[in-house]
């Protein structure tokens, strides 16, 4: 089975600062890590490879610093990695991001299964997987919490909708987005980390892909960030409780009981 | 192109998913003279029109086909694409439910337009639908627009707005389209989830723990306190990495919106992504060692001090 896992590198912190002048994230000094749900996607791929054989290619679009997380993914046990990197890809919204990923998947060719995390932990849209599925005209199982190989070209997945669990059967090729409930990602072993440095990371820019320049990066992104602001404080009157915990609790309980 | 605001009406079994009705009300509130249209895709035997109508859309566009029973995301997106491409609404809103977040981006890809995820507010600025959502950092929101392409699409967070009934003359349009079955996918079954475990969204008392209360001792005390108060323990996002907690316990933008009578926050800083989940709590008490923690601005009672100490005192004094 030929599996592609799309991974995004995210800052290893929740409180990234925004440059008030440019509206851009200040990314310097913040270490990048694999988006946590994408580790679940890699784990799912490793388990499927164990059952069905095949190869796992990691695919990521981003600046050269994304090599860090691709290297980590290789150390988990993936076979190869491709970084889609170019200034022209910058400033992409979900539509333009998914377009470039889709074109790369076409170039890889004969892919049976494309795995995504359910969403990124920084921008949090969960849109990239479904857009890729549509671009490639493939069936999708989003928010999957289980995945089972039926035979070599069919999977059964379960996904939790608002108050029902859906059982879905898909024939490959297909797109799956993975919830953290599906598995516990394995840790990198020293041997695998060592091996990961022997694996090559391929870099493709727009020159290697058959992309339409009007559909990539900022040019291909219909959404525009208009304004970034701090919301007004919620209007609650805050009453300070005494410094001593015992007195504080006594006062609180007296107040609440009134 | 017209100036209509469309709302996708999601169905859960025979019922209307509540967010869809909230969105009809919100669309009416911001519409000005723009017509509000409810988009319904249902099986022949279903009839949710009566329910939808009560919330006062100017028009309902109905797609009927028995194959909507257990339809795949791709099949729903294909059907919606036919009517949207034909009738060209100005804006199209989806609930940010699992289904909405799965179907809307597939439709977006067909229409080659923008889609803003999980909005907390929307309003019109001229013809631009301004979509408001939190971004990184403790207290930062951003506004996203889609200036050049229509429809303007957004998914909107459940329970952000109240659904309010309204009387209007609603026009009903039965739209004829072709259901195209997707070859390689089959929804085999749908099993209702029995919510045996109580849901934190419905809890009357919530003891919320953050990174400043993340140790076994405090967690054990919190469980005990929740038991005494007949409440539940919730957590900020970082604690979902703990063995005992999951996404089900998480409060906030990417977790649950809660509305308890009493919420006690232990060691939670009050990032905007957390704060949006607690706005509807009646009484908020917060315990934090940092007097400047943003959570205090969102609280009715503030205790500057240690989580464990306050928790122990509470356990002692609550009968
Ligand atoms: C605060 C903020 C809010 C944003 N809101 C929106 C919005 O509402 N609408 C919009 O269109 N854009 C939005 N963007 C832009 C968006 O973040 C980028 O387009 C981003 O490249 C992909 O979106 P995501 O992070 O939401 O990915 P998601 O769709 O949440 O990611 C799902 C999965 O897709 C894969 N994936 C995502 N990105 C990559 C990548 N670069 N390379 C390989 N695989 C990847 C991973 O498997 C990931 O788990 C926002 C950006 C920010 C900073
Ligand atoms: C797209 C996105 C979505 C997100 N969604 C969510 C979400 O749904 N829910 C959520 O919670 N977060 C969410 N976050 C993360 C959010 O930004 C914050 O990082 C998170 O809420 C912080 O959790 P915290 O308050 O527990 O931890 P911290 O911010 O680390 O705060 C810990 C607090 O504990 C205090 N403290 C330390 N020691 C003690 C002590 N002994 N006693 C008392 N107080 C003490 C500290 O002063 C501090 O204020 C999201 C982030 C992003 C980018």
The rounded Å distance from CA A98 to ligand 1 centre is 9
Which ligand is located closest to the Cα atom of residue B308? 2
- Chain B partners within 8 Å of A16 (Cβ): 136-137
Starting at the edge strand found earlier in the chain, the sheet holding B152-156 runs: B115-119, B152-156, B91-95, B5-9, B36-42, B59-64, B171-174
- Chain A partners within 8 Å of B137 (Cβ): 15-18
**Mean pLDDT (chain B, rounded):** 93
Which residue minimizes the CA distance to atom 19 of ligand 2? Answer: A14
pLDDT of residue A51: 95
Q: What is the CATH number of the domain that holds A49?
A: 3.40.50.620
Question: At a CB cut-off of 8 Å and minimum separation 6, what does A202 contact?
Answer: A80, A81, A82, A83
On the 0-12 / 13-18 / 19+ scale of CB atoms within 10 A, A113 is buried
The whole-number average pLDDT for the span B140-166 is: 93
Residue B250 annotated as binding? Answer: yes
- Chain B partners within 8 Å of A124 (Cβ): 117-118, 253-254
Architecture of domain B200-317: 3-Layer(aba) Sandwich (3.40)
pLDDT of residue B138: 54
∠ CA B233-B236-B241, nearest 5°, is: 95
Is residue B246 very low, low, confident or very high in pLDDT (cuts 50, 70, 90)? confident
pLDDT per residue as tens digits for the range A24-80: 666 556 688 999 999 999 999 999 999 999 999 999 999 999 999 999 999 999 999
Is residue B216 very low, low, confident or very high in pLDDT (cuts 50, 70, 90)? very high
Shortest alpha-carbon distance between residue A169 and chain B (Å):
5
pLDDT of residue A164: 87
Q: What is the DSSP letter of B149?
A: S
Judged by DSSP in three states, A26 sits in strand
Inspect the interface and report whether the beta carbons of A95 and B99 lie closer than 8 Å. no
pLDDT of residue A23: 61
Whether A19 maps to a domain, the answer reads: yes
On the 0-12 / 13-18 / 19+ scale of CB atoms within 10 A, B207 is buried
Residue B237 annotated as binding? Answer: yes
Range of the domain at A77: 2-232
The whole-number average pLDDT for the span B254-277 is: 92
B13 backbone φψ class: left, alpha, beta (φ>0; ψ -120 to 50): left
Shortest alpha-carbon distance between residue B172 and chain A (Å):
28
Cβ atoms within 10 Å of A102's Cβ, excluding its own: 23
Residue B319 annotated as binding? Answer: no
Task: Tell me how far CA of residue B30 lies from CA of A126, A127, B21, B26, in angstroms.
Answer: 27, 26, 15, 6
Contact B254, B134 (CB under 8 A): no
Window 32-61 of B: residues touching A by CB (8 A cutoff) are: none
Q: Give A18 or B216, the one with higher predicted confidence.
A: B216
Is residue B137 very low, low, confident or very high in pLDDT (cuts 50, 70, 90)? low
Query: What gap in Å lies between CA B67 and CA B284, rounded to an integer?
Result: 47
Indicate whether B195 pLDDT > 80.
no
- Outline where B32-160 has alpha helix (H): 49-53, 73-87, 98-111
Pocket probe for ligand 1: among A95, A96, A123, A126, the residue whose CB has the most ligand atoms within 8 Å is: A123
Integer-rounded Cα Rg, in Å, for chain B is 22
Is residue B132 very low, low, confident or very high in pLDDT (cuts 50, 70, 90)? very high
Which ligand is located closest to the Cα atom of residue B265? 2
Question: Is A180 at the interface with chain B, CB within 8 A?
Answer: yes
Which ligand is located closest to the Cα atom of residue A35? 1
Judged by DSSP in three states, B93 sits in strand
Query: What gap in Å lies between CA B284 and CA B262, rounded to an integer?
Result: 6
Is residue B224 very low, low, confident or very high in pLDDT (cuts 50, 70, 90)? very high
The whole-number average pLDDT for the span B29-42 is: 97
User: CA-nearest residue of chain A to B96?
Assistant: A125
Which residue minimizes the CA distance to atom 34 of ligand 1? Answer: A128
Query: What gap in Å lies between CA B238 and CA B245, rounded to an integer?
Result: 10
Inspect the interface and report whether the beta carbons of A241 and B279 lie closer than 8 Å. no
The rounded Å distance from CA A58 to ligand 2 centre is 31
Determine the longest span between alpha carbons in chain B, in angstroms: 67
- Domains of chain B: which residue ranges? 5-174, 200-317
Nearest to A162 among B98, B114, B254 (CB): B98
Q: Is the peptide bond before A173 cis (omega within 30 degrees of 0)?
A: yes
Q: Which two tokens stand for residue B152?
A: 């303007």
Question: Is B19 at the interface with chain A, CB within 8 A?
Answer: no
pLDDT of residue B218: 95
What is the domain count for chain A? 1
Same fold, B5-174 and B200-317: yes
Question: Is A205 at the interface with chain B, CB within 8 A?
Answer: no
Inspect the interface and report whether the beta carbons of B193 and A164 lie closer than 8 Å. yes
Whether A252 maps to a domain, the answer reads: no
Nearest to B141 among A129, A231, A243 (CB): A231
Residue B283 annotated as binding? Answer: no
Query: What gap in Å lies between CA A41 and CA A183, rounded to an integer?
Result: 9
Minimum-distance ligand 2 atom for the alpha carbon of B138: 17
Low-confidence ranges of chain A (pLDDT < 70): 13-30, 232-235
Contact A74, A56 (CB under 8 A): no
Element (H, E) at A236: none
Nearest to A81 by CA among A11, A5, A22: A5
B5-174 folds as Rossmann fold (3.40.50)
Integer-rounded Cα Rg, in Å, for chain A is 22
Strand partners, A229: B141
pLDDT of residue A151: 85
The rounded Å distance from CA A123 to ligand 1 centre is 5
Q: What is the pTM of this model?
A: 0.85
Spell out which residues line ligand 2, taking CB within 6 angstroms.
A 14, 122, 124; B 136, 210-212, 236-238, 250-255, 267-269, 271, 273-274, 287-290, 293, 306-307
Residue B249 annotated as binding? Answer: no
Whether A245 maps to a domain, the answer reads: no
pLDDT of residue A161: 87
Is residue B250 very low, low, confident or very high in pLDDT (cuts 50, 70, 90)? very high
Window 78-97 of A: residues touching B by CB (8 A cutoff) are: 93-95
Indicate whether B196 pLDDT > 60.
no
DSSP string, A77-114: T-SEEEEE--GGGTT--HHHHHHHHHHHHHHH-S--EE
Question: Is A232 at the interface with chain B, CB within 8 A?
Answer: no
pLDDT of residue B135: 77
Strand B128-134 relative to strand B121-125: parallel, antiparallel, unpaired? antiparallel
Indicate whether B217 pLDDT > 90.
yes
Query: What gap in Å lies between CA B23 and CA B183, rounded to an integer?
Result: 33
Whether A9 maps to a domain, the answer reads: yes
Shortest alpha-carbon distance between residue A199 and chain B (Å):
31
Query: What gap in Å lies between CA B82 and CA B155, rounded to an integer?
Result: 20
Contact B19, B120 (CB under 8 A): no
Is residue B74 very low, low, confident or very high in pLDDT (cuts 50, 70, 90)? very high
Q: What percent of chain B has pLDDT over 90?
A: 82
């Amino acid at each position: 089975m030929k599996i592609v896992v799309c991974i995004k590198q995210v800052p290893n912190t929740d409180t990234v600062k925004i440059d008030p002048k440019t509206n851009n994230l200040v990314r310097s000094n913040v270490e990048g890590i694999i988006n946590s749900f994408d580790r679940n996607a890699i784990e799912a791929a490793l388990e499927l490879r164990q059952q069905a054989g095949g190869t796992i290619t990691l695919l990521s679009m981003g600046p050269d610093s994304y090599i860090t997380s691709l290297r980590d993914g290789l150390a988990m046990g993936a076979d190869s990695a491709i970084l889609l990197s170019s200034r022209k890809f910058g400033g992409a919204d979900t539509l333009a991001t998914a377009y470039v990923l889709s074109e790369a998947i076409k170039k890889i060719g004969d892919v049976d299964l494309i795995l995504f995390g359910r969403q990124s932990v920084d921008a949090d849209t969960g849109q990239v997987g479904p857009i890729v599925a549509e671009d490639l005209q493939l069936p999708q199982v989003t928010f999957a919490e289980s995945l089972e190989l039926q035979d070599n070209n069919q999977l059964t997945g379960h996904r939790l909708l608002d108050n029902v669990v859906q059982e879905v059967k898909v024939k490959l090729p297909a797109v799956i987005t993975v919830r953290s409930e599906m598995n516990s990602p394995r840790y990198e072993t020293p041997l695998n980390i060592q091996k990961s440095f022997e694996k090559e990371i391929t870099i493709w820019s727009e020159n290697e892909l058959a992309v339409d320049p009007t559909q990539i990066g900022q040019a291909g992104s219909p959404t525009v960030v208009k304004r970034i602001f701090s919301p007004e404080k919620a209007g609650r009157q805050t009453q300070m409780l005494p410094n001593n915990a015992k007195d504080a609790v006594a006062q609180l309980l007296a107040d609440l009981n009134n | 192109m017209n100036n209509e605001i469309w709302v996708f009406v999601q169905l859960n079994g025979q019922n209307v998913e509540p967010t869809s009705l909230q969105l009809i009300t919100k669309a009416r509130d911001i519409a000005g003279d723009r017509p509000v249209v409810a988009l319904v895709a249902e099986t022949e035997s279903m009839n949710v029109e009566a329910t939808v109508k009560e919330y006062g859309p100017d028009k309902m566009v109905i797609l009927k086909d028995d194959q909507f029973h257990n339809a795949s995301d791709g099949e729903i997106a294909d059907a919606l694409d036919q009517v949207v491409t034909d009738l060209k609404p100005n804006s199209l809103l989806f609930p940010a439910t699992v289904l909405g977040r799965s179907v809307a981006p597939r439709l977006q890809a067909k229409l080659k337009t923008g889609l803003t995820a999980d909005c907390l507010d929307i309003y019109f600025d001229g013809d631009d639908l301004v979509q408001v959502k939190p971004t990184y950092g403790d207290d930062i929101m951003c506004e996203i627009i889609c200036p050049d392409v229509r429809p303007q699409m957004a998914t909107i967070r459940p329970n952000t707005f109240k659904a309010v009934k309204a009387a209007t003359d609603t026009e009903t349009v039965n739209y004829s389209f072709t259901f195209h079955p997707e070859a390689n996918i089959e929804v085999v079954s749908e099993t209702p989830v029995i919510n045996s475990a109580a849901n934190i969204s419905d809890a009357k008392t919530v003891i919320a723990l953050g990174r400043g209360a993340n140790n076994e001792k405090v967690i054990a005390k919190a469980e005990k306190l929740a038991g005494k108060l007949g409440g539940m323990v919730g957590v900020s996002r970082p604690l979902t990495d703990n063995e005992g907690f999951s996404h089900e316990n998480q409060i906030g933008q990417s977790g649950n919106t809660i509305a308890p009578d009493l919420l006690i926050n232990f060691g939670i800083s009050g990032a905007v992504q957390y704060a949006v989940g607690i706005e509807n709590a009646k009484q908020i008490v917060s315990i934090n060692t940092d007097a400047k923690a943003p959570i205090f601005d969102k609280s009715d009672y503030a205790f500057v001090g240690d989580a464990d100490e306050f928790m122990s005192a509470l356990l002692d004094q609550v009968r």
